[in-house]
Amino acid sequence: MQTTAIPELGSIIGIGASCFASIYDQKTVLKGYEIWVAGKRISYFDRPCEDALRHEEGIYNHLGEHPQILRCLGLVSVHDGMNSLRLERAPFGNVRQYIERNERLSEPHRLQMALDVAVGLSHIHSRGVQHADLSCRNLFLFDNYRVKIGDFGGSIMQNSTFPQTVCEEPRYELPCRGRDFEHRPVVKRELFALGSAIYEITYWTRPFPDLQDTEVETRYANDEFPSLSDGIGAV
């Protein structure tokens, strides 16, 4: 695996709904709503998210260190009253980016990647945490194609009063099947998302890649899912 050159301090390497991911040093990144370099504000979101960052730090601390969980180094002050979450930097970005930009890996590598996700999610669940937004966007790639799970901003701890603010992307979302959206079983939601991640890794493409999200939702609602027989020999 060849790593790319490390961008400059403060360079944005990812943008989410409420936070940036930016370079802090060679081995870590900052996740936050404002980017400051040498006392100057470079980029910012209009709405602060201090509570969400502290919540995510708490999730990481609760999970503890694990080979398949992104390492968190805590909150750091970037300016007066403004904090960012310092996280381990994935040298090869997230798994979806890698899939989109590179040829399909060998079967042993893909199976190991899929296993890493399952092992990581098993640890998350053993600690009483629901990830709530598992997808290849939130899986991060390291040397030897090993995968770590990250992005716990919307995750929920058992018996927590923190409001759920996110849900899975459409291709990772468990169909309602006659239930209210918010009443879908938590474990089944997580396992459906895990299965979708394993599909994306092993087939090297998202489920129904040529369809719009609304079309995918309709198919899922009708219990129509991607075939597991087409090209299975290449898996």
pLDDT digits (tens, 9 = 90+) for 69-125: 999 999 999 999 999 999 999 999 999 999 999 999 999 999 999 999 999 999 999
**Identical fold between 12-88 and 95-234:** no
Please state the φ and ψ torsions of residue 148, each to the nearest 5 degrees: -125, 145
The residue written with tokens 């960052």 in the block is: 53
Distance CA 6, CA 91 (A): 9
Q: Is 52 helix (H, G, I), strand (E, B) or coil?
A: helix
Q: Which CATH number fits domain 12-88: 3.30.410, 1.10.3470, 3.30.200, 2.60.40?
A: 3.30.200
List beta partners, residue 75.
85
Query: What are the structure tokens assigned to 58, written together?
Result: 């708490």
pTM listed for this prediction? 0.90
**pLDDT single digits (tens) 202-215:** 999 999 999 999 99
Kindly give the interhelix angle for 107-126 and 186-203, rounded to the nearest 10 degrees. 160
Choosing from 25, 51, 80, 133, which is the catalytic residue?
133
Distance CA 226, CA 208 (A): 7
Distance CA 40, CA 173 (A): 40
Q: Which CATH number fits domain 95-234: 1.10.3720.10, 3.60.15.10, 1.20.140.10, 1.10.510.10?
A: 1.10.510.10
Q: Give the β-pairing of 139-142 and 34-37.
A: unpaired
For residue 133, indicate whether it is catalytic: yes
Domain ranges of the chain: 12-88, 95-234
